[in-house]
């Protein structure tokens, strides 16, 4: 049952129901192409907001976008 929910979340359309997608650490690592330790460093340094619910670490899509926007380099 969890697997079905996980697959549905990957195909999530936030504009359809005005909800912000939620990612776990494995999904974050896949989206940003980073290792687990880099995800830990982002959390520890306060650069990426996270939520801890029942021992699980979760990230909101908008927080990930905010992190990327903070580190955006404008092209010429």
Q: Would residue 75 count as lying in a domain?
A: no
Residue 64 contacts residue 51 (beta carbons within 8 Å) = no
Residue 59 contacts residue 23 (beta carbons within 8 Å) = yes
Separation CA 19–CA 12 (nearest Å): 9
Q: Would residue 76 count as lying in a domain?
A: no
What is the rounded average pLDDT of the residues 8-31? Answer: 77
6: domain CATH number? 1.10.1660
Q: Would residue 55 count as lying in a domain?
A: yes
Q: Would residue 26 count as lying in a domain?
A: yes
Q: Would residue 65 count as lying in a domain?
A: yes
Domain that holds residue 34: 2-70
Given a cut of 90, whether residue 9 has pLDDT beyond it is no
Given a cut of 60, whether residue 6 has pLDDT beyond it is no
Query: pLDDT band for position 19 (50/70/90)?
Result: confident
Q: Is the whole-model pTM more than 0.75? A: no
Give me the pLDDT at residue 61, please.
97
- Number of structural domains in the chain: 1
More confident residue, 9 or 42: 42
């Amino acid at each position: 049952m969890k697997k079905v929910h996980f697959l549905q979340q990957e195909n999530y359309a936030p504009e359809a129901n005005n909800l912000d997608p939620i990612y776990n650490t494995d999904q974050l690592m896949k989206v940003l192409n980073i290792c687990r330790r880099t995800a830990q460093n982002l959390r520890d340094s306060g650069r990426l907001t996270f939520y801890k619910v029942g021992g699980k670490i979760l990230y909101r899509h908008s927080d990930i976008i905010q992190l990327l926007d903070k580190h955006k380099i404008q092209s010429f």
